[in-house]
Amino acid sequence: MSNSDTSDPAGDSVPVSVFAPKKWWFLVFVIFGLGSIIGLCSAGLSFLLEFVQQYILGAAESLHDPTPFGSPWWRRLASAACISVFAAVIWWLIRRRSRIPSVSGAVHGAPMPAGRTLIHVLTQIIIVGAGMSVGRETAPRELGAMLGQKLSQRFRLSRNDMAVIIAVGAGAGFAGVYNAPLTGMFFAVEVLLAGTDIIVAATALGTSAVAAFIGGLLKGTSVFYSVTGLTVSWQIILFAVVMGPVAGICGYIFRLLTQWANTNSERTSRVLWMLPLAGLLTGVAAVWLPQVMGNGRAMAQTAYNSVSVAAIPLLLILIAVKAALTVLTIRSGASGGVLTPAIAVGGAIGAIAGMGWAYLFPNVTAGACAFIVSAAFLAASQKAPLMASVFMLEITHASISFIIPVGIAVSLSMLVSSWLPSFRLLRLRRSEAAGKEGLLSGSGSTAKAHAAIRDQQA
């Protein structure tokens, strides 16, 4: 992201970029001022999530008890079903005039109205706490992005500088909720900015670190997932080599499904019945499978704890149900993340493969194998290898040495997932060529092939 454009959004001229040396004081203010505010807000969102889980769902998740087994079946059903009605009404009301932009949209200049964005963010946290199958990470990122945008407008920054501060704020929101400063920094520079300079990266890291510190000071710094057996050996590295490409294929499919759901997410009045239906189906599934509720922490921890082959049928069912409910919830009009659901689905796939690997190599644990596949699956589904790798290490407090098998699996996963669209595009071009040869089926098939090729190239 270049900082050479000094034109102001209002049309005035800004003589010096805030990333110039003489503006060092502003970057210090962003790191400590904006970082502290976002850290406080992130802690507040975490407390709201716990409140909803405790008093609506009936069981607050924790490291040792992430699954709402303590909540009776009827309460799990009622929680998701009732909150989905509430959320459907809220989103229908605040979206009637215009769509609330995503973080990426804000980075590219879309305004984030403070009031509606705040309601939008709080609604996301409430539905996750009540058990709807989406991640909570989008809410703090959007809140951080909105705060970054308002700060930029207050200081009349250029378009490019504003985009950077918005990305930095979004990354800090991510870091504040999960106590993951490196993840916040990589989310800003790898996912949102896709290429930047060292000063921007340093600002993103500092702001995320302050947000993580303030958030952790208020809500604690305990690990999000507990995984045992994270030791490096040639056996675990071989597993990473074998399963990295598999995770890439699965993560790519998951990304296609969630992108389809997000692109076609309901924004009309039909959300008033579609989202409650998704909530009802989630509640019904949770009667027998409470692990599918919420952001996926319960399912992921179930996968990391699995050691017996008797758990394989359950894990297979959880993979199918969790993926389906996440796609259905987003398609029905809900807003939320897919990052932690991806970790859960990837972890279950890795646990199944890990049980067989642990049988061959007893010094390897199925939990460690599930951890590696979670990271590789997440990287492919998010197209973010650096963010995915450090995120898994930060939220488990794993040794940095375990980056070796994680990095190998993630790299192979990304290679395979990046090649798949090319193979698909090649098949579409062959279909186009075949369509041109046929006089009877030509126009319709060719038009469809052209449209599909444009989608793949985009």
- Average pLDDT of the chain, as a whole number: 89
CA distances from 16 to 109, 357, 430 (A): 20, 58, 52
pLDDT in tens, 220-274: 888 999 999 999 999 999 999 999 999 999 999 999 999 999 999 999 999 999 9
Q: Does the pLDDT of residue 96 top 80, yes or no?
A: yes
Residue 314 pLDDT class (50, 70, 90 cuts): very high
pLDDT of residue 35: 97
Query: Which has the minimum average pLDDT: 34-48, 87-101, 426-440?
Result: 426-440
pLDDT of residue 383: 94
Q: Give all domains of the chain, ordered by start, each with its CATH number.
A: 23-219 (1.10.3080.10), 234-419 (1.10.3080.10)
- For 270, phi and psi rounded to 5 degrees? -65, -15
Q: Does the pLDDT of residue 446 top 70, yes or no?
A: no
Q: Does the pLDDT of residue 428 top 70, yes or no?
A: no
pLDDT of residue 11: 44
Residue 452 pLDDT class (50, 70, 90 cuts): very low
| DSSP class of 441 | T
Query: Which has the minimum average pLDDT: 20-24, 43-47, 144-148, 409-413?
Result: 20-24
pLDDT in tens, 353-392: 999 999 999 999 999 999 999 999 999 999 999 999 999 9
As a whole number, mean pLDDT of residues 13-22 equals 62
At CB < 8 A and 24+ separation, what contacts does 27-30 make?
A: 27/199, 27/203, 30/151, 30/165, 30/168, 30/203, 30/207
Which comes out higher in pLDDT, residue 431 or 130? 130
Q: For a pLDDT cut of 70, what percent of the chain falls above it?
A: 88
pLDDT of residue 60: 85
DSSP characters over 33-98: IIHHHHHHHHHHHHHHHHHHIIIIIS----SS--SGGGS-HHHHHHHHHHHHHHHHHHHHHHTSS-
67 Cα distance to chain centroid: 20
The separation between the first and the last C-alpha atoms of the chain, rounded to the nearest angstrom, is 20
Q: Does the pLDDT of residue 293 top 90, yes or no?
A: yes
| DSSP class of 192 | I
Q: For a pLDDT cut of 90, what percent of the chain falls above it?
A: 78
